[in-house]
Amino acid sequence: MAETANTHVHNLEVVEVIKETDDAMSVVFEVPEHLVHKFRYQPGQFLTLRIPSATTGSVARCYSLSSSPHLDDDLIVTVKRTFDGYASNWICDNVAVGTRMTVLSPSGVFVPKSLDADLLLIGAGSGVTPLMSIAKSALVGGAATVYLIYANRDERSVIFGAELDEMMVEFPDRIIVEHWLEIDRGLPTADALVDLVAPFPTYDAFVCGPTPFMAVVGDALAAIGMPDSHIHIERYQSLTGDPFADIVIPEITDGETPATAVVELDGAKVEVAWPRTTPLLDVLLSRGYDAPYSCREGACSACACTVRTGEVRMLRNDTLVEADLAIGLTLACQAVPLSDNVEIAFDQ
């Protein structure tokens, strides 16, 4: 008999709206006590929001959390208007205190492994949003030194400008912010960025911004010899399906002998039979395990997990890059077993 799983969909109330710049705002969500366990998150993760649409009913969009789990009680996402961006304009025009929005639990793997390892954060425009979460978390919850390079059109475009100034005053020996204003210095180039990042080849780099900007940053980091394993790029894919709809999980049947999966989830290990053609996420959900997920399309990274032993293949992958694959990451919603025994950890 088919089962329905929908425990990842929630409604949260907006308790504050903060104007950051002329075209950017932060939306503050209150998390009810009974949902706190569903909204525990790590710095650098994102929320998926349901945006009403007259043509399609709704669209789903991912927005990074600018709040820090080490500092902030509420969840905060920061949204910047983009030209012809339906969702960002709808949020900026319609969301107010008291608005209730449908959201998914926090997701994403753009997360430092340690808040004690020194960090090189490089962002442009609203790409600073997850970097802000990471920076605040490192300063309050860790011992890392933080060097932030932040590119914008002009001074009026700088999101979190006053807050960044305050952080440098409070932690003068641990954070440096280098502002790159296009009006003064032109668009960033790889050669110019090499001069800025050259002192930090051993840092862990986190990069977020427009695609051309991230490409230039990637060239600069490669030029200083930073290992791929130290470079983390945040990429968002527009979700084509409806991750908020009830998910019906069909009864799992398979004529082949299933593989065996040992899965570490929320600090506990479970063992499940894994049919050869069924994605791991479906297996876990069908057995009542609350595994993290969002799109179930291979287009986000909410269900990313690490293959510790054994071998799997992905039916589709639109989000993990070579550096992710090299350290054993896979997508539970797309992973099927190749070996008889597989050990998997949701340790992101």
Q: What angle do CA 25, 30, 33 make, to 5 degrees?
A: 165
Residue 146: phi, psi to the nearest 5?
A: -120, 125
Q: Quote the DSSP letter at residue 8.
A: T
Q: What angle do CA 62, 158, 230 make, to 5 degrees?
A: 60
* Other CB atoms within 10 A of residue 231 CB: 19
Q: Quote the DSSP letter at residue 282.
A: H
| pLDDT confidence band for 1 (50 / 70 / 90) | very low
Residue 89 has pLDDT above 60, yes or no: yes
Strand, helix or coil for residue 11: strand
| pLDDT confidence band for 42 (50 / 70 / 90) | very high
Q: What is the CA radius of gyration of the chain?
A: 21
β-bridge pairing 24-30 and 75-80: antiparallel
Q: What does pTM read for this prediction?
A: 0.87
Residue appearing with tokens 């968002």: 236
* Other CB atoms within 10 A of residue 320 CB: 19
pLDDT in tens, 119-143: 999 999 999 999 999 999 999 999 9
Widest CA span in the chain: 66
Domain ranges of the chain: 3-104, 119-233, 250-345
Tell me which CATH homologous superfamily contains domain 3-104. Translation factors (2.40.30.10)
- Non-local (6+) Cβ contacts of 298 within 8 A are 314, 315, 316, 317, 318, 319, 331, 333, 334
Residue appearing with tokens 């997990």: 305
Looking at the domain 250-345, which fold is it? Ubiquitin-like (UB roll) (3.10.20)
pLDDT in tens, 281-315: 989 988 888 888 877 888 877 899 999 999 999 99
To the question of domain 119-233 being in CATH 3.40.50.80, the answer is yes
Ordered alpha helix ranges (H), the chain: 86-94, 128-141, 161-170, 182-185, 190-197, 211-223, 280-286, 322-326
| pLDDT confidence band for 332 (50 / 70 / 90) | very high
| pLDDT confidence band for 2 (50 / 70 / 90) | low
Q: Of 251, 241, 292, nearest to 275 (Cα)?
A: 251
Which two tokens mark 241?
A: 């399906």
Q: Quote the DSSP letter at residue 53.
A: E
How many Å apart are CA 207 and CA 110, to the nearest integer? Answer: 9
C-alpha 143: how far from its chain's center? 22
Distance in angstroms between the alpha carbons of the first and the last residue of the chain: 32
* Other CB atoms within 10 A of residue 271 CB: 10
